[in-house]
Structure 1
Amino acid sequence: MLKTNLHIAIAHLLTGPFRFSILALLVLFIQGCATPVGIEPVDIQTGYQLNTESALSSGSPSEASKMVLRRNGLMDRFENEPEKVLAELHAELKPTGDEDKLFTLAELSLLHAQKTADHAYFLAAAVYAWSLLFPDDGQTIQFEPSDPRYRLTYDLYNQALAQGLASPEDGATEEVEVQIKPGIYQLPFGALDLSLDRNGLSWGGYNLEHFISTAFLEIRGFRNRYRSPGLGSTLAASISREHLAANIAGANRLGPQTKVPVTLLARFKQARSALATGQIKGQLALYANDQSKSVSVDGHVQPLEIDPTAAYAYRLNDNPLYSMEILNFIRGGLFAGAIPEDRAKDGLFTIYPYRPGKIPLVLVHGTASSPLRWAEMINELEGDPLIREKYQLWVFLYDSANPIAYSAGVLREALENTLNEFDPERKDAALQQMVVIGHSQGGLLTKLTAIDSGDRFWNLISDTPFDKIKVSPDVEALLKRTLFFKPLPFVKRVVFIATPQHGAMAAASEWVRGVVAKLVTLPQTMLRGLAQAAAATGDEKLLAKLRRPPTAADNMNPNNPGLQTLASIPVTAVPAHSIIAVDGDGPKEEGDDGVVAYLSAHIDEAVSEKVVRWNHSCQGQPEVVEEVRRVLLEHLATLSMAIN
C-alpha cells in the first residue's frame, strides 16, 4: 500500500506544473551519485601497492587470496573464524593441481600465525608453500614467472619456516632464534615429523649454535645489504667457544665473534599427496653460504637465499673491539686478552675458513684502530661475486703504539705462519699471489713486506755489526725479524691507503710524541731484546734506545731517521698502488687529509695513484673501495695473462 501511494505521489509531481524543475533536479541528483561500478584514479605508488600487497608486505591477504575467499563466500568468515575457514579450504583441496587454493592456504596460514603466534600455522604455511613449489610429480611451481605469486611463494616458505621453528619465548621486538632440532611438530591438520641432517652443523672446525633469523633484522652502518633471493631461511649462526679438532687448518684463525651466514631448508617428502593424510615427513638441512650457493630439489637446481651482509653486521654489533681501540693504543695487550686461548696469537685472522685456490687479500689497519674499520670495504668486496670467488679476506690485528718495525716483523711472521699451516707443501699456487693493503700506519707495515732493507735499520741503532753481537737465539730471531727485511716471496702486490710515507703531521710535534711515550706500554719482549743486545755490545746507540724506547708516534715523525730510511727504499719487487686522501677542493699538492699531507703520502714508484677528496678515515669510501676493486681485478688479469 505504501509503495503504491509513493508511485502515485511521484506521478502527480511529474505531471504537475513543476514537472520540468523536478526532472532537472532528479538528473542532477543521479549525476552526483557514484555508479555501482566505476573507478577512482590513484597515483603510481598507490596503484602498485593495491596490486602487490600481501601478508608479508602489508599484513593483509594478497588480491589472489582474496579472490579465492570471495569466490567461496568466505571473505567475512575468515575475519571471524579463520581456523574454520582454513580447515574447510584444506579439506576441499584436490589431489593434484588446485594451485590457487594451495597458495591461498599458504598465505592465509602465515597471516593467521602472525596474528596468533601459533607456530603450527607457520609450519603449515611452509608445508603448503613447499607443496606448491615442488609438486610430487617432480615438476616445479606451475605459476608463470611473471605471476607475482611465483616469488611470493618462495618468500612465504622462507619466512614461515624460520618463524615456525623459532623459540617460543621470542617476542615481536626481539631477535628470532631458530631452534634446529628433530622432532614431531603439530600442524593444524596433522603432524610434521622432522629429521635432521647433521652434516651442516659444523663449520671451519666449530659447532654451529644460536641460529638467528636475518630476515627479521634491520642493519645499519653499511651502504649496501648484499643478499640473493632464493630458497631457504637465512640465519646468522654463532660458532662454539672451542674448535673441534686441532688438525683442521685455519680453525684457530677465525675470530671469536664470528657469525656464519647459513641457509636452512626443510625438505618435505611427497608433501602434496601427504596433505590429504595430514602426516608430513621432512628433513632439516643447513648450508653455509661460503660453501653452498645452490641445492638440487627433485632434480632441479635451486639457488639458496643468502644474506651475508646481515650476518656480518650482526657480528659487528656491540663488538668489544670498538671500545678497546683507543685504550689498547695506550696500554697495549688488550686485544690479545679478547682473543680466546685456542686462537692464533700472532694477530692474523680470516673472515671465512681457508679455501684452497683463493688469493689471500690481507687488510692491515692503522693507528689506534682495529680490523673492524675495514667493515665497509669487506662488505663491498664480499658483495662482488668475482672477487668473492677469487679472493679470501684476512685481517691483521696488532698493538699500533709499538714501533713500526716491530709490528711489521709480527705481521711478516704471522703471514709465514699462516701459509705454513694452510699449505705446508706449497701446493696451493693462489697463496703465492697475496695482495696486502694497509691504511695509514698499516701502509708502512705493508711496505715492509715488499722491500729489501739490508742492514740499514740495524745501523741506525748500533755501531756494532750484527754478526758480532752475542745474544740468545730467541733475541737474535727477534732482532732479525724486527730490523732486517726482505720482500716476502708470496706478496705479489701492495696497496697504500692514506699512508704517511714521509711522516704524519701530528707526529712532528715533540709534545705529542712525549705524551704518547709516557702513556703507552711497549712489549717487554722487545725491551728485553734491546737490553740483552746493549749489554752484549756496550753500544751507546742501543743504550740510548733503552733509555727512551721509540713508539709508533716517534717512527712517524717526518724527521725520524728510521722513517726517512724507509722512505728512501722504493717498492720495486712488486707493483705498488697508492690511494691518497685530500680533504677539500684545493690543489692536491698543497692538501692533506687532516693527518697525512699529500706530499707525504705520494711515492714516485706507485704504478697508480688515486686521489680521493675525503679525510684520513677514507678506507670505506666508495671511491676508495672502487679503486681497490679495480686493483684486484687488474691483479687477476695479470695472473691470467701470465698463465696464458
Structure 2
Amino acid sequence: MRRGLGWASLATAASLATACATPVGVDRASPRDVHRELTENALSSDRASAATREFLTRASLVQRWKDEPDETLLALHRELAPAGDLDRLFALAELSFVRAERTNDPSHALAAALYAYAFLFGDDGDPAWRALDPFDPRIQVARHLYNRGLTLGLADSREGVVDLSSKRRALPFGALDVASSPADFVWAGWSLVRFAPAADYRVRGLDNRYRKAGIGAPLAAHLGEEMTPSPAGALVAPRLRVPVTAFLRVDDVRAQLASGRVRGRLEVYSEDERSELVVHGEAVPVELEKSSSLAYMLEGAPIWDFGLLGFRLGDYLPGRSERLVLLHPYIPGRIPLVLVHGTFSSPATWAQMVNELENDPGISKRYQPWLFIYNSGNPVVYSAGLLSEALQKVVASLDPQGADAALRRMVIVGHSQGGLLTKLMTVHSGDVFWNNIARKPIDEVDLDPDSRALLQRSMFYEPLPFVKRVVFMATPHHGSYLSDFRVTSWISRLVKLPARITKLTLDVAMKGGDEFYLSALDRKPTSLDNMASNNKALRALAALPVAPGIAYHSIIAVRGDGPWEDGGDGVVKYRSARLEGAASEKVVKSGHSVQMTQEGIQEVRRILVEHAAAAD
C-alpha cells in the first residue's frame, strides 16, 4: 500500500512540474504592451530604454545604478574610451537625463546633452559614429536627449526662460564654459532678448501642432529693439515670437569630456535665415516649434480684444501706427499673401490658417503672410481706402526699383467684410460711389485738403497693379441678412467713428444741399449699414466686375443639410456670397467662420499652389 502511494506521489509531482512555466519561455501579451516595452525610454517614461538597460546588465551595474546612481555615472564616465564605445556613451546620455529628471539638477541635463552630442556627431576623425546603422533607434532618442538636455540645462527656472548668456556651468564631472555672441541673437535687424522653451508648452486652440524635427533646443524668442531700422521692420508684429533653435557646438568633444573641462559655443538659428547647420561637413536640419511659437505669441495678447474694441472705436489701434502686420521679415522672391479679417474680428482670426500654411513647406517657401488690421465698424469704403493706401505704400518702400516680380503677384484673401475690402482692390469704380453722396464732381466741390484727400481715397478705386488673385470667404457681396434686422441700427449707435470722418461729416453738412445729398447723413455710415442688402454703395460694388487679369475665387459657407442654394452660414446667404465668373467656387459645410475650418483652409492652399504654379 505504501509503495503504491509513493508511485502516486511521483506521478503527481511530475504532473505539477510540466504545468509550471519553464525557466526560459514566452508569455502571450498584448502587442501594444510589448511594443511599449521595446520602445520606451527616459523621455517617455520613468526608466531608461532597453538598450541602456541591456548595457547595465552586461556591465553588472543594475543594482549599483539603483543604489548609487551618481557614483555609477562617474564610474562610467571615467571608463569611457577616447573613441568608439558608443554603447557606453548612449547609456551615459540617457542615465544622465534620468538623473536630471529625478533631481532637477541642470548639471545632469547638460551632461546628457554633451554625451548625446558625442554619440551623434563624435569627432571628425572618429569613424565609429559614422558607422551607426541609420535604423538604430538610439539615434532618434539621442537627438531628443540632446535637445531636451540642452533646454533643461540652460533653463532659468525663476524667469521661465532659457539663459543663452556666456558663463561657466557645472557638470557632474567638471565644468562647461559656454560662449555666445550677442551678434547671434539678431533676427531681421531686431535683437532677440528672451527665449522661452517652446517644447515645454501644450498648445490649445490649433487643430495641429507642427514641429520641424532636427537638432537643437527649440525656442520662442521675444523681440527687443530694432537695431537696423528698415521699411519692413516697422511692420513686424510687436508681440512676435520668433521660432529659433539654440545649438551648442563642441569641438573635440571626446577629448574635452575626458578632461572634465568642456568649452562650447552657442549658436542661434531661425528658419528665415538658415534651416540647416553643418557639423563635420554634413548638413543637419534644425529643430523648430512653429505652432508652439505662434500660440505662445497669441497667449493673452491684446489683439483678442481688438475685435470688439476695434468695431466700436474707429480710431483705436493698439500699440502701432501701421495697419499691415508681418510675421517674417520681407523676403524677396516670396509672394505676399494678404489676409483681411471681417467684422467684430482681428488678425487673430487667421491663426488656424497661418498655422497650416506656414507649416506646409510648399507654401511657406513661396509665400509670405501679411495681415491687415482695421476697425471693422468704420464705413467699408473708408477701411478699403486704408488697405489700398497701406499696400501701395509698402510695395513702393520695399521694392522701389520694381525688381521683385513676386511682390507684384500678390494674393489677397478676405473673410466676410474683409472680402468687400478685397474686391475694392480689383475694380475700376469710376464715380459710382461718389454719385451716391454728391451732386457735383469732386473737382467742383469746395473742400479743405484733408477732407478732399479722404474722399478721394475712399470713393475712387482703381485695380492695384500688383494684385493678381483674390479669394472671397463668406463675403456678403449682396448684403448680410443680419444687417437688415432692426437690432443692427441699435448696434451701429455704439460705433464711434474716426475723428476724420466726423469732421468730414460736419464739413459736408455745412455745405448744404447744393453739393451733397444730405439724406446720406441721415444715418451713421457704419459698416453694418453698408452691408445691408438695400445699401446703394453695396449694390454698386456688387455690379462692378473684377478687372481683367485678376483671378478670383469664392469659398462659401453653408450650414445644415438642406439644399445649399437656399442656405447660408448664419450671417451671409449662399446667393449673397456667390459671384458669377469666379475661377472656382467651393461650398463648405460650416458656420460663418469658414476661414478657421480645415476644408476652407485646404481650399485656400489649393488656390495658392495653383497661383504659384502659374508664376513658374
8 Å Cα contact 1:250-1:353 kept in structure 2 = yes
Q: Describe the shift of the 1:491–1:425 C-alpha distance in structure 2 as closer, same or farther (beyond 3 A).
A: same
Which digits, 9 at most, give the CA deviation of each residue in 1:345-373, with x for residues without a partner?
A: 24111111111111000000000001101
User: 1:207 Cα shift?
Assistant: 1.4
Code of the residue aligned with 1:218 in structure 2: it is R
Question: 1:305 pairs with 283, 287, 292, which one?
Answer: 287
Partner of 1:430: 406
Partner of 1:618: 594
TM-score by length of 2: 0.97
1:349 equivalent in alignment to 2:322: no
Code of the residue aligned with 1:243 in structure 2: it is E
1:236 equivalent in alignment to 2:220: yes
8 Å Cα contact 1:450-1:571 kept in structure 2 = yes
1:465 equivalent in alignment to 2:416: no
Question: 2:21 pairs with 34, 37, 40, which one?
Answer: 34
8 Å Cα contact 2:508-2:516 kept in structure 1 = no
Question: 1:504 pairs with 480, 490, 496, which one?
Answer: 480
TM-score by length of 1: 0.93
User: 1:430 Cα shift?
Assistant: 0.9
User: 1:321 Cα shift?
Assistant: 1.9
Partner of 1:283: 265
Q: Separation in 2 of the partners of 1:199 and 1:429?
A: 32
Q: Describe the shift of the 1:397–1:468 C-alpha distance in structure 2 as closer, same or farther (beyond 3 A).
A: same
User: 1:542 Cα shift?
Assistant: 4.5
Code of the residue aligned with 2:121 in structure 1: it is F
Question: 1:25 pairs with 3, 8, 12, which one?
Answer: 12
1:177 equivalent in alignment to 2:166: no
Partner of 1:524: 499
User: 1:48 Cα shift?
Assistant: 0.9
Q: Separation in 2 of the partners of 1:321 and 1:287?
A: 28
Which digits, 9 at most, give the CA deviation of each residue in 1:251-275, with x for residues without a partner?
A: 1111122110000000011111222
With 24-33 and 355-364 compared, the bigger mean Cα shift is at: 24-33
Q: Separation in 2 of the partners of 1:464 and 1:333?
A: 30
8 Å Cα contact 1:439-1:619 kept in structure 2 = yes
Partner of 1:56: 43
The Cα RMSD (Å) is 1.6
Matches within 5 A, 1:186-205: 186-205=170-189
Q: Describe the shift of the 1:278–1:272 C-alpha distance in structure 2 as closer, same or farther (beyond 3 A).
A: same
Give the total of aligned pairs. 613
8 Å Cα contact 1:230-1:302 kept in structure 2 = yes
Matches within 5 A, 1:75-474: 75-138=62-125, 140-169=129-158, 176-240=160-224, 242-246=225-229, 248-334=230-316, 336=317, 338-339=318-319, 343=320, 345-474=321-450
Q: Which has the higher Rg, Structure 1 or Structure 2?
A: 1
With 135-144 and 298-307 compared, the bigger mean Cα shift is at: 135-144
User: 1:523 Cα shift?
Assistant: 0.9
Q: Separation in 1 of the partners of 2:343 and 2:560?
A: 23
Q: Secondary structure at the match of 2:250?
A: strand
Q: Secondary structure at the match of 1:16?
A: helix
Which digits, 9 at most, give the CA deviation of each residue in 1:599-620, with x for residues without a partner?
A: 1111112111111111111112
User: 1:168 Cα shift?
Assistant: 3.9
Q: Secondary structure at the match of 1:532?
A: helix
8 Å Cα contact 2:198-2:219 kept in structure 1 = yes
With 364-373 and 514-523 compared, the bigger mean Cα shift is at: 514-523
User: 1:227 Cα shift?
Assistant: 1.3
8 Å Cα contact 1:462-1:541 kept in structure 2 = yes
Which digits, 9 at most, give the CA deviation of each residue in 1:409-465, with x for residues without a partner?
A: 001001111112211222211111100010000000000000010011000001111
Q: Describe the shift of the 1:168–1:462 C-alpha distance in structure 2 as closer, same or farther (beyond 3 A).
A: closer
User: 1:586 Cα shift?
Assistant: 1.4
Q: Separation in 1 of the partners of 2:581 and 2:487?
A: 31
Q: Secondary structure at the match of 2:218?
A: strand
Which digits, 9 at most, give the CA deviation of each residue in 1:78-130, with x for residues without a partner?
A: 11211100011011111110000000001101110111111111111111111
Partner of 1:556: 531
Q: Separation in 2 of the partners of 1:168 and 1:503?
A: 54
Code of the residue aligned with 1:586 in structure 2: it is G
User: 1:535 Cα shift?
Assistant: 3.5
Question: 2:490 pairs with 499, 508, 515, which one?
Answer: 515
Which digits, 9 at most, give the CA deviation of each residue in 1:274-312, with x for residues without a partner?
A: 221111111001001222110111111101111111100
List gaps (5 residues or longer) in structure 1.
1-12, 171-175
User: 1:538 Cα shift?
Assistant: 4.5
Partner of 2:543: 568
Matches within 5 A, 1:572-583: 572-573=547-548, 574-583=550-559
